[in-house]
Structure 1
Amino acid sequence: MTTQTTTAETPRTPEHDAPSGLIGLPAGPARALATGGGALTIVSAFLSWTWTSAFPGDLTVYGYPGGLQWLVLVAGVLTTLFGLASYGVKGLQWLVPAGADSSIKFAALAAFGTAWYTVLAISVQLGGLANLEPGGFVAAVATLVALVGALALPFHRPAPDPVDPDDDGWDAFKHRAAGTANTWKAAFATGRSKPAPTLPSYVEILIIVAALALGLLVFTYGIGTGYDELFIGFLITAGFGFAAISKSGLMVRISVITSRHRNVTMAGAFAAAAAFPFTQSDDRYATIGVYILIFATVALGLNIVVGLAGLLDLGYVAFLGVGAYAAAMVSGSPSSPFDIHLPFFGAVLVGAAASMVFGVLIGAPTLRLRGDYLAIVTLGFGEIFRITVNNLDGTSGPDITNGSNGISSIPNLQMFGFDFGIPHDVFGITIGRFANYFFLMLIITLVVVIVFRRSGDSRIGRAWVAIREDETAALAMGINGFRVKLIAFALGATLAGLAGTVQAHVTYTVTPEQYQFAHVVPPNSAFLLAAVVLGGMGTISGPLVGASLLYLIPAKLQFLGDYQLLAFGIALVLLMRFRPEGLIPNRRRQLEFHEAAEAPAVLSKTGA
């Protein structure tokens, strides 16, 4: 009998200094090139890149970065930090628990892509390379040197995630114990690194606060980019920068920390989100923020149906429309056929209840179908809803929804004497209309997150997961599949209707065109499903992040005109190709896509 054990990384031997990357350079000189190029990139950000301020961002100042130079500076700092960590600098190894080589490559790509994009944009807009100052040439050469060194580094497969941040109880204990044991085995076998010691609770909480503050800073910077070139540079830096941090293992390490302080993380995340309107001087970006929250809340509701129960729903946006129309009809709008003006809580209950009823009515006859058949039926329901409300105009049918004109002039919400439609001063800062709705939608998002979390951890939630994994086996174990799926469908519809009540008051008008299957501007069924898959099915943070990206990026890419959806589609294809499990996946789904690559790192094979 023989036993074969494969670890995440091989022991460090002299052949590691032999050429093993994409470029024939030894590992030592390659690290020196990457680290030195990163340091020179930092210096270049403080030089003038062009002689005229005609290019957006004013890149003419010595000693102070501007515009795209800040992004190059951030990418250069990442490259340098990971490069120094690869040399074993004390204190920096904590940042690269999975190894620094892969993270250096992506950080160098971030610096190279952003710097060369800026140089080319200056040359194209201003009429040639003659418009570049020495700083532009230094940045181009420095990032190229760093990239050459990074590409020459050897490849080491990182160890798999030690814990699933969405597991609780016994599952979390088993994963944490197995992950810790395998990490120690890999550390002793390779001699390269040791697992980080357990930090005091207050230090871990400070790390969580720092991570949330950094997330708020990145989001605020991305949503507030003032011109197109800056946003494209932001996408390049953020995309490759996120990949670099992920490859370093730092994301996994932070996930382990947040899993030990779930309540602190949730409270901190919503506190950081609540601070967003205070960072804005007007309602311009608060408008995008409130729409992102609406989109994210509906996506999280869809995640119950798709991510937990495994039901492919292509008409989910119709439930958002049912809630919006129901709330609009009882809001006191002059376009409503009913002379009813309910207070906010009444409108919320009506919208959520109407969506729940429609969810039960649609789900009861259709949830006995599976897979593609269920998807086609739900797609048909979404189109039937849109066509029906379009025809209820008094001509093709009874006058209920005012047809294609929709229900307009929906009044602002008022709650406890607080009018959401007028600005208010808070701590000396003026909070506008959309900021008011942002805070309201944030509270609703918190409610939806709590419902999702409690449902997923409950007995019914585990039944959903069982149905998703293997419905036949779940039925054989005594789970009532139809009842379980109907509960998921009704709960998801209720949460969508809850968000729809706020959407109706934010937009002042609800029309059938807002609830198509595919539309340039989200939310729609296609974008909602993409947000769930892109962010990470079955997780809480995944759909929130996915929805934020899927709303923000199209809103910022409007300058591309007819090519907007083309560029967006290419980005989705690339993301699904290189990270099919989503941006923030749970452990089970990650293994589904990478089991062949990761399983040997933690399992031993025994054969005769």
Structure 2
Amino acid sequence: MTTQTTASETPSVPAAGTPTGLIGLPPALGRALATAGAVLTIVSTFLSWTWTQDFPGDLTVYGYPGGLQVLVLIGAALTTLLALASYGVKGLKWLAPAGADPALKLAALATFATAWFTVIAISVELGGVVNLEPGGYFVAVTSLATLVGALALPFQRPEPDPVDPEDSGWEQFRHRAGQAWETVKAAFAADRPRPVGKLPAYAEILIIVAVLALALTVFTYGIGTEYDELFVGFLITAGFGFAALNKSGLIVHASQITSRHQNITICGAFVAAALFPFTQTDDQYATLGVYILIFATVALGLNVVVGLAGLLDLGYVAFLGVGAYAAALVSGSPSSPLSVHFPFWAAALVGAAASLVFGVLIGAPTLRLRGDYLAIVTLGFGEIFRITANNLDGTSGPDITNGSNGISSIPNLKILGVDLGAQHDVAGFTIGRFANYFFLMLVITAVVVLVFRRSGDSRIGRAWVAIREDETAALAMGINGFRVKLIAFAVGACLAGLAGTVQAHVTYTVTPEQYYFAGPVPPNSAFLLAAVVLGGMGTIGGPLIGASLLFLIPNKLQFLGNYQLFAFGVALILLMRFRPEGLVPNRRRQLEFHEEAEAPAVLGKTGA
């Protein structure tokens, strides 16, 4: 005799596709655990984590967070706000227009990773966990509880694919591992977006100001980290924090606002950048600032060639070298064979014009090639330039570049009677040499941004995009492909040469070793290309942000020694795996990489 069970007697088993958590806790309990854990983590940052000041940051003070404790406090505060937003607290819905649960998981992960990194660093550097105070144990427990609670929040579990019984054991293992990975990705996937009403114009402008102020604060904090552990913690907190805000939909919402006020956003960004030297107490970090701007400007010029026209140029750093050498030859250097001293505006025109001419001379015979063949030829040109500059020493060739010694003792610039090599007092602030060149480079960056933006919106810019998307179709529509590509090559080379004129005066010396394809330090062709791809091809902000990160991170990771490039390479792989369209993606490329996510929405709109 069989017995039948009613629906009320059936065990509580979630149906396929029902939103459940990554772990077995009830979602309500997980949400409460994540909220309470985040609040207690905030409290833990006001406790002492270690008894000795030997660990940098002085984590021995009660009631006053310092060093890495501040980063844990920021992560825990963000986690708390997202947890309250997930409860539907009025006044916090703006924080998560696309849903708070996925963002809460990432914010909890940021807090956990930073806290445990600090605890492990204290234990390793000081010789064991005995060096931890109660606050150190407390933050380890509370941050772990926060992460466990966040992972219990519901997500849409993907439907598993059936396993083929004829597969080998290794193939079945790979299949199950792939299913597990899809489950983990779904746990951090975004919820259904919630509509956000359009704000008044003045409110959107205030939001833009707040975003720019936050960006300046984050950049200033990151570039001014005083010790290695603090920078690693900053990378963890900033990386996962940005991912959390992106999952919450706040980044997308802010991007929509800035796109509606592009002119205000660009002007505000340059104003914020101009305030950077005034945030520094000395000229130390202004040095990094000016090199970042040089690197970013050259990357933006390469974005014309790669991002808009779709031409893979692996020798682009050579145009930077041509501009630097041309400016150095006419700037009054005692080691220059030319006994002339041009003013800066004339030297800048000489450097830009020389790079433009070289761009045309190299592009004319090579731009009839496509794809990998063009990349190989441009790579060869970059190496030929470096070797030629090394041989023009008066022995192997004419005495022009002084060979491997380069052109040295390049004098400081004087513009309108202002010596950029001397300190100046402005509104009570002392502006040093590198800060002076920072302001000059900021003006040149503005010129490059203007050229990029106007050319991208012009008829020739649309022709570049057409060539990039499908050259055969563009030729069939009547576009002169060779002429269009040659113009892109020439414009990109000219912009690189313009940045090279400033680089020659900042570094005092121009040598061939500065222009390798993949040298030990940027800018080089490999890093420039990585900055464009990682930042976002075809955009203005992408190469600027990508260049800033690619210059700052290796500079700050020097303490890793031989493992520096390994850690940097792992970071690049992870970034390209989870955000292949770049940090600031072009809308077209974003749809190409996430076509499966966008197609239903597009079809739905079409069907309506």
Structure-1 residue corresponding to 2:370: 370
Structure-2 residue corresponding to 1:63: 63
* Equivalent residue letter for 1:64: Y
Alpha-carbon deviations, 1:398-431, whole Å to 9, x = none?
1100000000000000111010000000001110
Structure-2 residue corresponding to 1:349: 349
Deviation of 1:128 (Å): 1.1
SS at the partner of 1:566?
A: helix
CA contact (8 A) 1:99 1:156 kept: no
Q: Does 1:114 align with 2:114?
A: yes
Structure-1 residue corresponding to 2:468: 468
* Equivalent residue letter for 1:85: A
Deviation of 1:191 (Å): 12
Deviation of 1:285 (Å): 0.3
* Equivalent residue letter for 1:59: L
Structure-2 residue corresponding to 1:285: 285
SS at the partner of 2:313?
A: coil
Query: Computing the radius of gyration over CA atoms, which structure comes out larger, 1 or 2?
Result: 2
Structure-2 residue corresponding to 1:172: none
Structure-1 residue corresponding to 2:515: 515
CA contact (8 A) 2:193 2:249 kept: no
Query: C-alpha separation between the residues in 1 aligned to 2:413 and 2:304?
Result: 28
Shift of the 374–193 alpha-carbon distance from structure 1 to 2, 3 Å rule, reads closer
Structure-1 residue corresponding to 2:100: 100
Alpha-carbon deviations, 1:515-560, whole Å to 9, x = none?
0000121000000000000000000000000000000000001111
CA contact (8 A) 2:99 2:191 kept: no
Structure-2 residue corresponding to 1:415: 415
Query: C-alpha separation between the residues in 1 aligned to 2:104 and 2:191?
Result: 21
Query: C-alpha separation between the residues in 2 aligned to 1:356 and 1:464?
Result: 18
Alpha-carbon deviations, 1:108-156, whole Å to 9, x = none?
1110000000000111111111111111111111110111111122236
Structure-2 residue corresponding to 1:502: 502
**Could you state the TM-score of these two structures normalised by the residue count of structure 1?**
0.90
Alpha-carbon deviations, 1:217-247, whole Å to 9, x = none?
0000000000000001011111111110111
Deviation of 1:15 (Å): 8.1
SS at the partner of 2:407?
A: coil
Deviation of 1:74 (Å): 0.6
CA contact (8 A) 2:296 2:547 kept: yes
Which segment drifts farther, 17-26 or 311-320?
17-26
Query: C-alpha separation between the residues in 2 aligned to 1:70 and 1:133?
Result: 17
Query: C-alpha separation between the residues in 2 aligned to 1:52 and 1:113?
Result: 23
Shift of the 138–18 alpha-carbon distance from structure 1 to 2, 3 Å rule, reads farther
* Equivalent residue letter for 1:384: I
Structure-2 residue corresponding to 1:51: 51
Unaligned runs of 5+ in 1: 1-13, 158-189
Structure-1 residue corresponding to 2:163: none
Query: C-alpha separation between the residues in 2 aligned to 1:376 and 1:570?
Result: 26
SS at the partner of 1:120?
A: helix
* Equivalent residue letter for 2:242: F
Shift of the 30–262 alpha-carbon distance from structure 1 to 2, 3 Å rule, reads same
Query: C-alpha separation between the residues in 2 aligned to 1:253 and 1:424?
Result: 41
**Could you state the TM-score of these two structures normalised by the residue count of structure 2?**
0.90
Alpha-carbon deviations, 1:544-594, whole Å to 9, x = none?
000000000000011111111111111101111111111110111011111
Query: C-alpha separation between the residues in 2 aligned to 1:584 and 1:194?
Result: 22
Alignment of 1:392-471 (within 5 A): 392-471=392-471
* Equivalent residue letter for 1:100: A
The count of aligned residue pairs is 562
SS at the partner of 2:594?
A: helix
Query: C-alpha separation between the residues in 1 aligned to 2:115 and 2:17?
Result: 30
Query: C-alpha separation between the residues in 2 aligned to 1:600 and 1:440?
Result: 48
Alignment of 1:315-326 (within 5 A): 315-326=315-326
Query: C-alpha separation between the residues in 2 aligned to 1:424 and 1:476?
Result: 58
Structure-1 residue corresponding to 2:228: 228
SS at the partner of 2:120?
A: helix
Shift of the 17–210 alpha-carbon distance from structure 1 to 2, 3 Å rule, reads farther
Which segment drifts farther, 22-31 or 69-78?
22-31
Structure-1 residue corresponding to 2:10: none
SS at the partner of 1:122?
A: helix
CA contact (8 A) 1:16 1:27 kept: no
Q: Percent of pairs identical after alignment?
A: 80
Query: C-alpha separation between the residues in 2 aligned to 1:309 and 1:568?
Result: 28
Shift of the 521–541 alpha-carbon distance from structure 1 to 2, 3 Å rule, reads same
Structure-2 residue corresponding to 1:163: none
Alpha-carbon deviations, 1:479-504, whole Å to 9, x = none?
11111100000000000000000000
CA contact (8 A) 1:17 1:28 kept: no
CA contact (8 A) 2:102 2:191 kept: no
Deviation of 1:261 (Å): 1.0
CA contact (8 A) 2:314 2:526 kept: yes
* Equivalent residue letter for 2:421: G
Structure-1 residue corresponding to 2:183: none
Alignment of 1:26-425 (within 5 A): 26-155=26-155, 194-425=194-425
Query: C-alpha separation between the residues in 1 aligned to 2:156 and 2:342?
Result: 62
Structure-2 residue corresponding to 1:601: 601
Structure-2 residue corresponding to 1:169: none
Query: C-alpha separation between the residues in 2 aligned to 1:156 and 1:195?
Result: 20
Alpha-carbon deviations, 1:253-282, whole Å to 9, x = none?
001111111111111101110000001111
Deviation of 1:98 (Å): 1.0
CA contact (8 A) 1:412 1:419 kept: yes
CA contact (8 A) 1:309 1:468 kept: yes
Shift of the 114–319 alpha-carbon distance from structure 1 to 2, 3 Å rule, reads same
CA contact (8 A) 1:16 1:154 kept: no
Deviation of 1:21 (Å): 2.3
Query: C-alpha separation between the residues in 2 aligned to 1:429 and 1:469?
Result: 50
Shift of the 533–423 alpha-carbon distance from structure 1 to 2, 3 Å rule, reads same
Q: Does 1:546 align with 2:510?
A: no
Shift of the 147–399 alpha-carbon distance from structure 1 to 2, 3 Å rule, reads same
CA contact (8 A) 2:303 2:532 kept: yes
CA contact (8 A) 1:407 1:511 kept: yes
Query: C-alpha separation between the residues in 2 aligned to 1:261 and 1:450?
Result: 16
Shift of the 17–573 alpha-carbon distance from structure 1 to 2, 3 Å rule, reads closer
Query: C-alpha separation between the residues in 2 aligned to 1:25 and 1:455?
Result: 56
Q: Does 1:561 align with 2:561?
A: yes
Structure-1 residue corresponding to 2:165: none
Alpha-carbon deviations, 1:337-376, whole Å to 9, x = none?
1001000000000000000000000000000000000000
Shift of the 375–336 alpha-carbon distance from structure 1 to 2, 3 Å rule, reads same
* Equivalent residue letter for 1:430: T
Query: C-alpha separation between the residues in 2 aligned to 1:486 and 1:243?
Result: 39
Structure-1 residue corresponding to 2:186: none
CA contact (8 A) 1:18 1:26 kept: no
Structure-2 residue corresponding to 1:179: none
Question: RMSD of aligned C-alpha atoms?
Answer: 1.8
Query: C-alpha separation between the residues in 1 aligned to 2:93 and 2:259?
Result: 22
Query: C-alpha separation between the residues in 1 aligned to 2:191 and 2:119?
Result: 43
CA contact (8 A) 1:96 1:250 kept: yes
Deviation of 1:97 (Å): 1.1
CA contact (8 A) 2:410 2:508 kept: yes
Query: C-alpha separation between the residues in 2 aligned to 1:596 and 1:125?
Result: 47
SS at the partner of 1:603?
A: helix
Unaligned runs of 5+ in 2: 1-13, 158-189
Query: C-alpha separation between the residues in 2 aligned to 1:522 and 1:606?
Result: 47
Query: C-alpha separation between the residues in 2 aligned to 1:15 and 1:441?
Result: 60
* Equivalent residue letter for 2:90: K
SS at the partner of 1:425?
A: strand
Query: C-alpha separation between the residues in 2 aligned to 1:41 and 1:208?
Result: 31
Deviation of 1:38 (Å): 1.3
Alpha-carbon deviations, 1:135-190, whole Å to 9, x = none?
11111111101111111222369xxxxxxxxxxxxxxxxxxxxxxxxxxxxxxxx9
Query: C-alpha separation between the residues in 2 aligned to 1:339 and 1:518?
Result: 34
CA contact (8 A) 1:406 1:512 kept: yes
